[in-house]
Amino acid sequence: MTTTSMTTPAATGSRPMVKAEGVHKSFGTAHILKGIDLEVAPREVFCLIGPSGSGKSTFLRCINHLEKINAGRLSVDGELVGYRQRGDKLYELKDSEVARKRRDIGMVFQRFNLFPHMTALENVMEAPVQVRGEAKASARARAERLLDRVGLADRAGNYPSQLSGGQQQRVAIARALAMEPKLMLFDEPTSALDPELVGDVLDVMRGLAEDGMTMIVVTHEMGFAREVGDALVFMDDGVVVESGHPRDVLTNPQHERTKSFLSKVL
């Protein structure tokens, strides 16, 4: 069991869905995250932008403890991620406890990671049945509703190889939603798609935003960030360079590094 020294933060009036305080992450000698501080409010669409290698995806993976942070504090809905506080120490949770907490966090990756031997319907049903022990009948009913929600009711019996990249990504979103998460993480969900397939995926994400789902989105889709995002952070070299409302940051960036990056992507 590992321990980490910590300080107790001051109590806040309203609880953020995600709170990062001085988060550091290294892989060997490579220091990837260098003290990330940010908060994501419930029902907020929080966009992360920045060049490749800036630490965006690593930070996302730390939120659901796919990667363990080396220093700082990271909490979801008021609970520490991967640790339990006892006195002035943080004690790492057992893998089974981490997995149980991870059920509340849906994640959609760049690559769809669908089970190739299962139909779209079976992919969406799998986690509720296997992880939560839900009855197949109720899991099937929810899976059918979710596939309809992402516009794929007519593709329920198709295998991933029979679906386009955009359709596979929409199945992946439905699969994440099947666990009824309180938070959704999107790691560049459209970056592996042909341009004409991007719109359908973004439309599904817009719908989730309208329904009040708390979302953290690593994206290069600046139009989506501007139209749908409630907050935006520009990261570079493992630090938060600039943050604010998406329209403000994208149209009137204050930091020279932000200006340079946006001049190449807008």
Share of the chain above pLDDT 90, in %: 81
* Edge-to-edge strands, sheet with 231-236: 105-108, 183-187, 214-218, 45-49, 231-236, 239-244
Helices (H), 131-164: 136-149
Q: What is the pLDDT of residue 9?
A: 38
Minimum mean pLDDT range among 79-93, 140-154, 172-186, 222-236:
79-93
Q: What is the pLDDT of residue 262?
A: 96
pLDDT of 141-176, one tens digit each?
Answer: 999 999 999 999 999 999 999 999 999 999 999 999
Q: What is the pLDDT of residue 266?
A: 85
Share of the chain above pLDDT 70, in %: 95
Euclidean distance between CA atoms 71 and 63, whole angstroms: 13
- Count CB atoms within 10 A of the CB of residue 242: 20
Q: What is the pLDDT of residue 100?
A: 80
Q: CA of 174: how far to CAs of 24, 106, 122, 210, in Å?
A: 32, 10, 11, 16
The dihedral built from the CA positions of residue 205, 170, 74 and 72, taken in this order, carries a sign that is negative
Q: What is the pLDDT of residue 84?
A: 84
> How far does the chain reach from its first CA to its final CA, in angstroms?
47
Q: Tell me if 192 sits within 8 A of 110, measured CB to CB.
A: yes
Euclidean distance between CA atoms 167 and 197, whole angstroms: 8
Residue 86 binned pLDDT confidence (cut-offs 50, 70, 90): confident
pLDDT of 1-58, one tens digit each?
Answer: 333 333 333 344 479 999 999 999 999 999 999 999 999 999 999 999 999 999 999 9
